[in-house]
Structure formats: C-alpha cells, structure tokens
Chains A and B, each alone.
Chain A
Amino acid sequence: MEQETSTVDFGSMLEARGVSRRDFLKFCGALAVAAGLSQAAAPRVAIALEKSVIGAKEGGLFPVLWIEGASCTGCTESFAQIETPDVGKIVLELISLNYSDVLSAGAGYSVELAKKQTIESGSPYIVVYEGGITQGFGSNTLRVAMETGEEILCHAAEHAAAVVALGSCAVNGGWMAAYPNPAQATGVQAILKKHNIGTPVVNIPGCPANPEWLMSVLVQVLMMGGAEALVAGDVPAVVKTLGLDGEGKPQGIFGQTIHDNCERRGHFENGEFVYEFGSKEEELGYCLYPLGCKGPQTKSNCGVTMWNNRRSWCIQAGSPCLGCCEANPNDPGDNWVEVNTPFYERHRDLHIGDWFFQPTVVAGAITGIVALALIIHGFGMKKSGRTDGGAPFEQRRAWDVKNPDKSIGQYEYSIYEDNDPVVLQKAQQEIAKQYEQATEEVAEAAEAAAEIEEGR
C-alpha cells in the first residue's frame, strides 16, 4: 500500500504543481465527505485518484462534453474558480474536456468537429449540461452550428454514458423557467423524457452548483466503480454507485436540509433571531429564519462542503439561504425561483394571473371578513330578537307543506297541531263549507216559509 501510494510518477505530478502529499490527503478526505462517504474513506479516494491519474498518463481519459444551454455560465465560472495550484486541477485532469463553450481554446468549426467526433467515436463519454433548454421560438434561441438547443442536447445525450445536469436551470429550468417563462424553458431530464432518450441523468442543482459537488460526482463515476457500470449501460448500478434519490440527485449531497447542518441552528432552537439587517441581533450572528431563510426546506450540504475552497458559505456570510438547490426535475413548478421568491419572506408569492400576493394577506383578509360578517350578523340576530333562545320554531317544515304526501314530520303528534297552518286552513275550509251549507239551509227554510205563507 505504502509503495503504491508513493509512486514516483504521481508524487512528482503533485510536486510539480506545488501540492504536498498532506494537502492531497486532506483534499481526498474532503472529497470523500462531499461524496457522502466518511472521512475514513479518504485513503480509498486517494488510491482511486492516483490510479486514475496514473492511468491518465496512459491515455485513458474519460471524455466530457460541457454544453451550455440557457445559462449565465455561472456554474462554469464557479467551477473555474477552483484555485491553482490546487489538487482539484489534478482531478480535472482525469477527464478530457473535449468541448466547452466557455473554456475550450478552439472555436467554431474545430470545436464542433471535436464534439462530433466524441459523439460518433463509439466510446463512452459524459455530457455536462449547464443551463435550461428553451422549447419556445422553436428552440432557436439556443441555435449553434445549425442545430437547435433541443437537438444539440438530444444528439449529445443519445450516445452518452450519462448526462450531468449541472445547476438548477439544467435540473428543471431554474431562473430560465420562472414565471411567465415565454421561452418555455425546462430542464435536461424533461427534454430527454420528451424525446424518449433513456440516458441516465445526474441532477446537481444549485445556483451556481458547488464545483465540489461536480467533482465528487466525477470522482464517484470515474473512479469508484461507476465507470464500468456506465460503460456497460447498467443504469441501476450507476444509480447505486452515485446514491441517487428519486430525483436523480446524489443523496450524500442533497439528502439533508441546510437547516439540519446549519451553524446557526443553536440560535434557532434558542429562539434567537435576526429580525432586521443591520441590527444588534445580526451582529451577534443569530438565526436568519425571520428574514426568509429557506434553509429548513432546502436540501443540500452547503454547510458541510461550504464554498470557495471551504472558506465560507451564504449563512456564514450573513445571508439567509435563498434555497437555490430547490429543483425537482419531475415538476417544473417546484422551481427554486418560483417557490422561494421573495427571498426575504417566509412564504413564496402566490399569483392569480399577474396579481401577486403573500398567503398571509389573503388568509388574514378572508378571516377578517368572516369575523366582521359575524359581528354584523350578531347585530342582526339581536335586532330580530333571536339572541334570547332563537326565533320560535317553525310548526311545519316548508318542504313538508309543499309535499304533504312525502312529509318528514308526523305533525299529528306536534304540540302545534292546534295552530298548525295546515290544520287551521283545513278547519277554515270546513267552517266555510259548513257556513255555506247553513246559508243554503237558511235560504231553503226561508223559501219554504214563504211558500207556506203564500199558501195560507
């Protein structure tokens, strides 16, 4: 083991870049953590890296095509900011970046040819896709070298061993797909599904994605046994190696919330909060939850991996988490820009058409209206004399009056029978009938009397 790890070639490679052996092992430990393994896995990572780098000398580099979609190239920028000399650069040398809109030295025909050759070579390669894919305007907004954006992705993905959707835009549209989304932007997985391309997609959200996340995925894929599975097209093995969850995200990175690993969590539990920027509480480094921190619902290990070579991260720098890693590749609506704006509010804005509002405003207004209505109603009840036991009961259900044959109540048992309107009506009719009869009888009697008188 000792001999293996101190191979002359590798050691001199590190030395040539000003990286000490100690730095390298520290980096391997961090990489192991970023990949969701324990620090104890560091030697395993080191061996894998060394083997790969040594292998690289023999020409076994894994080709990567880095394609820009509707992106701000922020993910590339973030990746490119890895400091040099840095062991990260050595790791980068385990891939052969055959095509990159931003970083390739070549341009025009020559890089397009390099891409074409990679795709048509028949040997496995990985696509890193950055940015959303616009479907609107015939996908012409992303037209490069006579191909539309959708075609570029599909052609590159079709023969690829895997596609890494890098950044929230590539995962489900991100900023590009935010309301009203006239370009109909969406993520890589949705486009591949639309065109029935079964290439496995590894989703790495973030705005930008942390370069170390991509690094850890590459390390896992290319060195920890993922490569063989990729080459064999064994999707379940790839998923298992990378520990992908149902959304195609590496669970070691996106399995827990920011809140779970937040350095200000103690202040949250103690109820110590920053309510206002520039306040005493902010100075004390209290929890940023009331300022709209999306940490409790955003899954990412930012607090562990941190940013810019592990110098700091958003919350350490004093900003509430904006939830930039919220991106569900299967649900374009679960887009971090949609669900996490306004950034400094606890809730997203809801909208009906172009009318935007906070849930509290609507819920509070409806509750207030109900309360007011009840107060007004109460005055009505008071005025109509119902507050002292309610109005007198109806003697017969209105429906029963109209449908006496199907009556619900058996009103003959009712205490109101005596003054029941139906009974009264019947009685009145009876009286009228009797009166009529009596009148007739009187008239008849009078007639008879008159006849008798005449006959006399």
Chain B
Amino acid sequence: MAHLAHYKEAHPLPFVITHWINLVAMICLIITGFLIHFPVSGTMGVARGVHVFFGFVIFINCVVRMIMSLFVKSAPTGGTRKQTADFKSWLPQKDNRHQAGAWIKYYLFLKKDHPLSAKLGVPQKLSYLLIPILIILMFITGLALWTPTAGALAGFTSFFGGAMSVRIIHYFGMFVFIIFMFIHVYLANVEGTEPTKLMFFHKEHGGLVYDPDKHVIVGDDNLQPRNE
C-alpha cells in the first residue's frame, strides 16, 4: 500500500454534493445532447426540456462551487486532516511546483516511483482549471442557440461566425467533456477505488500521512486506534 490516507477532510460535504450534481447533470446533458443531435423518435420534447434544465443546473452548480471554494475549507493534499480555504488547492500550490515533468514521466512509465503531489497532480490541476471555463463556454453557446436567449446573444453568435459555428463549438465542447470524463474516471480509479468511495460516500481509508507544511510524507495511519 503506497497511497496516501483518504480522509473526509479532502472532500467536505458541500463538495460531495456539488460533485454528485455535476455527475448527474453531465450525464443527462450528454445523453440528451446526443438525442437532440441524433433525434430518436418521440424523445425530442423531453430531451430539449431536460437539456435546458440541466444546462442551468450545471452552470449554477459551477458558480456555487467556485464561490464556496472561497470560504469552505478542505485538505490541501491527500493524507492530511489539516484544512485550508479550498480555492488554494484548486489553484497551483507549492506542492505542485516542479512536478509537471515528474507526473508526465510517471504516466509514461519513464519514472518508477509515484510523484509527491498536492491534492491534485499537475495534469489534474490543469484540467480542473479548464472545466469551469468549459462549463461557462458551453452555457453561453447553449444560450446563444436557445430561442428565448438567442436574440440577446446575437452579437456573440455573429462574433463566432453565426449559429452553425456556435452549434459546432457547442458540439465539440461536449466531446471535450466526454474526453475529460474518460480521463478523470480512469485516473481516479486506476490505482484503486478508494478515492471514488471517499468522493461519493465519504468512506475513509488508511494510508500514508502527508504534511502539507513540510511537503513530505511524515507517517502512516491505518485508521485503527483513532479513538485513543
């Protein structure tokens, strides 16, 4: 067992909820998006309704999540119960410094040992920084294509070369989401399902203890004698 301990402090309850909402909204959006583009008999009305509804849900959820990150505290790294304001572990941290190369080498099997990391490794951090931008882009392009708001966004539509271009940007954006989900689900689970159990069900697992101030592994915690 080489992974860091998985403590609840990494994912406070509000973020467990926003993560669940993201999951449900994204899956519904992708399915209904496909149904709108490749219509199946009898589904168009429902698909469009659900798509618009979850479009608003995922956008509002994204905004709420970002605002909460300013004041909700979370563990800045795995393997610790210490907490700092969440946005600090969303932005690049000291623990990330000089580690991008190490991560790439690790995943290309050019480095044998596991790089030390912040809560998010460098590739993850970059992708999580892009996700809110992508959600906002998808929301705006979606609104530009939705009749009730299309008029107000006519200038935006023209800027991107007309409705067809906006439609294609929105369509490509969905594939970026799908690719992100593939990579995200893969990386979160390839070394064991403990991170997923923690993220969705708040189930803790023992492991190595990391000190986010000293930036090194300082101990081992098997979670057994916690009450002593």
Q: Which of B10-18, B19-27, B182-190 contacts A (4 or more CB under 8 A)?
A: B182-190
Is A26's CB within 8 Å of the partner chain B?
no
Distance to closest chain B CB from A375 (angstroms): 9
B88 at the A/B interface (Cβ < 8 Å)?
no
Chain B neighbourhood of A364, CB < 8 A: 175
Chain A residues with CB under 8 Å of B107's CB are: 377
Encode A117-138 as 1/0 by CB contact (under 8 A) with B. 0000000000000000000000
Residue contact B191 to A415, C-beta cutoff 8 Å: no
CB of B158 within 8 A of chain A?
yes
Interface string of A351-386 (1 = CB under 8 A from B): 000000001100110110011001001101100101
Contact residues of B between 172 and 228, Cβ < 8 Å to A: 172, 175, 178-179, 182-183, 186, 190-192, 208, 211, 214-220
Q: Looking at the complex, which one of B43, B97, B102, B178 makes contact with A367 (CB distance below 8 Å)?
A: B178
Residues of chain B with a CB closer than 8 A to A346's CB = 37
Q: Which residues of A contact B114 (CB under 8 A)?
A: 390-394
Q: How many residues of B contact A (CB 8 A)?
A: 62
Interface residue from A297, A366, A390, A409 paired with B179 (Cβ < 8 Å) = A366
User: Whole-angstrom distance from the CB of B197 to the nearest CB of chain A?
Assistant: 14
Contact residue among A246, A270, A333, A415 (Cβ-Cβ distance under 8 Å from B217): A415
**Interface flag for A271 (CB, 8 Å):** yes
| A347: chain B residues within 8 A (beta carbon) | 164, 167-168, 171
Q: Is the CB of B161 within 8 A of A333?
A: yes
Question: Are the CB atoms of B172 and A359 closer together than 8 Å?
Answer: yes
What are the residues of chain B within 8 A of A435 when measuring CB–CB? none
Instruction: Verify B37–A391 contact, CB threshold 8 A.
Output: no
Asked whether, in the complex, the Cβ of A326 is within 8 Å of the Cβ of B162, the reply is: yes
- Let me know if B190 and A289 touch, CB within 8 A: no
**A398 touches B (CB below 8 Å):** yes
Do residues B164 and A297 form an inter-chain contact, with CB atoms below 8 A? yes
With a CB–CB cut-off of 8 A, which chain B residues contact A350? 168
B192 touches A390 (CB 8 A): yes
Answer whether residue A399 sits at the interface, using C-beta atoms and an 8 A cutoff.
yes
A151: CB under 8 A from chain B?
A: no
A388 on the B face (CB < 8 A): yes
A260 surroundings in chain B (CB, below 8 A):
147
Task: Point out the residues of chain B lying under 8 angstroms from A10, CB to CB.
Answer: none
Across the interface, A409 reaches (CB within 8 A) one of B41, B165, B216, namely B216
User: Any chain B CB within 8 A of the CB of A196?
Assistant: no
CA–CA, A41 and B44, complex, Å: 38
CB distance from A423 to the nearest CB of B (A): 13
Residue of B nearest to A267 (CB): B44
What 0/1 readout, one digit per residue, does chain B (60-94) give for beta carbons within 8 Å of chain A? 00000000000000000000000000000000001
The answer to whether A397 and B172 have CB atoms under 8 Å apart is no
B167 neighbours in A (Cβ, 8 Å): 297, 347
Given that A260-B147, A269-B45 are contacting pairs, would A414 and B192 also be in contact in the complex, using a CB cutoff of 8 Å? no
- B218: chain A residues at CB < 8 Å are 413-415
Contact A380 B109 (CB under 8 A): yes
B9 at the interface (CB under 8 A from A): no
Closest Cβ–Cβ distance, residue B127 to chain A (whole Å): 13
B3 contacts the other chain (CB 8 A): yes
Select A363's contact among B112, B145, B171, beta carbons within 8 Å. Answer: B171
Using CB atoms, name the residue of chain B closest to A273: B39
Q: A359-B171, A387-B190 are in contact. Are A408 and B98 (CB under 8 A)?
A: yes
| Cross-chain pairs A/B with CB under 8 angstroms, 19 sampled | A290-B39, A326-B163, A339-B165, A359-B171, A359-B172, A363-B171, A364-B175, A374-B186, A389-B192, A390-B2, A390-B114, A390-B192, A391-B113, A399-B98, A408-B94, A408-B97, A413-B214, A415-B217, A415-B218
